[in-house]
Structure 1
Amino acid sequence: MAVSLQKGQKVDLTKTNPGLTQIKVGLGWDTNKYDGGGEFDLDVSVFLLNELGKVEDDKHFVFFNNPQSPDGSVVHSGDNRTGAGDGDDEVIEIDLSKVSASVQKVAFTITIYDAATRNQNFGQVSNAYARVLSASSGEELIRYDLGEDFSVETAVVVGELYRHGSEWKFSAVGAGYKDGLAGLARDYGVNIG
């Protein structure tokens, strides 16, 4: 049975699941009926961060145009441009045993593509969640439902995997950004030009 987290909660991942190295992080969402009728395109991005909370270089920013981390430990499943249908909209595959020693934290984010031009924000998004699954069994281990806490934000840091000694933990972050991907890139040290 999955551990259900609230914003700010942390949980052991590998300590409570001995031998776990292959995981999937599935993220999903729906757009509200009163979204103005425009197309929504939400994107999952992953930032592999050092002890200072910054990327080593831009290749440690994994998204649909850079679908794999330099060490091969993080792989993006590809861009889902509509979010239509049930289940995970985008999936990140992670091999914890391959994550470079310099990476202390893996941050999972969702941004709204072209949000300013389309006049869109997370107030128009519902049922957003992140879940961590065992890649081998498909069992859901952790689930975090974001709730409806966002109104003007165009990007959200959903959660983070982080090292705790030799183990990995998951933190339900739920922090919104009004300045979208640009704000995330600035804070994590990515040059998006």
Structure 2
Amino acid sequence: MAISLQKGQKVDVGLSKISVGLGWNPNEGTGQAFDLDASAFMLGEGRKLVSDAHFIFYNNTDSPDQAVHYSGDDTTGGNSDGDDETILIDLQKVSADVQEILFIVTIHEAATRKQNFGQVRSSYIRIVDQGSSSEIAKYELDEDFSIETGIEFGRLYRRDGQWKFEASGIGQQEELGFFLSKYNA
């Protein structure tokens, strides 16, 4: 049975091949289509990107160590059943200099389209066992993010040789460039 996480809660992953699914739905009548983009930041010392190639998103779908694969961008606005975007991870392949994998979702062209997470509902991040397709843990973003345009959903991090997952839920009124500046070495 899957663990339902609360903000700040941590859980041992205990698997090597997982997928991180992210999902959302725009509120009815919000106008233009929503294009939310998931990204994975592979961080090392000082919580900084190991290199530019360790920023995984729709234009860079694979990490240099082949441990992280972004399965594609859902530009339909999250109207699908299930995960809207998925990131596949083989934790055994993650290079030793990566201590954390941070998952961020931003709204593409949020300022131009006058969109924010207050217009999005049913947002979540979940960890799934690739072998059995069983959901291990899920964090549903139930906070009211009325002005935020980018959210750190959660993070995988290495502690004493084991991988753990923490539900973050940290919102910013910023787009992807802000997070790149924040975590760039």
Report the TM range for the smaller structure's normalisation: over 0.9
C-alpha displacement of 1:180 = 1.6
In 1, Cα distance between equivalents of 2:111 and 2:12:
37
Aligned counterpart for 2:113 among listed residues 113, 118, 122: 118
Partner of 2:58: 64
Q: Does 2:166 align with 1:171?
A: yes
In 2, Cα distance between equivalents of 1:148 and 1:42:
18
Partner of 1:17: none
> What secondary structure sits across from 1:123 in the alignment?
helix
> What secondary structure sits across from 1:75 in the alignment?
strand
In 2, Cα distance between equivalents of 1:149 and 1:136:
34
Write the deviation string for residues 50-75 of structure 1: whole angstroms up to 9, x where unpaired: 02101021111000110001100000
C-alpha displacement of 1:12 = 1.1
- State which drifts further: 177-186 or 105-114: 177-186
Partner of 2:28: 33
Partner of 1:50: 44
Listed as ranges, the matches of 1:111-190 within 5 Å are: 111-189=106-184
C-alpha displacement of 1:4 = 0.6
Write the deviation string for residues 113-172 of structure 1: whole angstroms up to 9, x where unpaired: 000100000000100000000000001001000113211111000000000111100000
Aligned counterpart for 1:101 among listed residues 93, 96, 110: 96
> What secondary structure sits across from 2:182 in the alignment?
helix
Partner letter of residue 63 of structure 2? S
Percent identity of the aligned residues? 52
Q: Which runs of 4+ in 1 moved over 4 A?
A: none
In 2, Cα distance between equivalents of 1:139 and 1:156:
25
> What secondary structure sits across from 2:132 in the alignment?
coil
In 1, Cα distance between equivalents of 2:41 and 2:160:
20
Partner letter of residue 104 of structure 1? Q
RMSD of Structure 2 on Structure 1 (CA): 0.9
Aligned counterpart for 1:73 among listed residues 44, 67, 70: 67
Check the 8 A contact 1:4/1:143 in 2, yes or no.
Answer: yes
Q: How many residues align?
A: 184
Partner letter of residue 64 of structure 1? Y
In 2, Cα distance between equivalents of 1:158 and 1:51:
21
C-alpha displacement of 1:23 = 0.4
Partner letter of residue 159 of structure 1? G
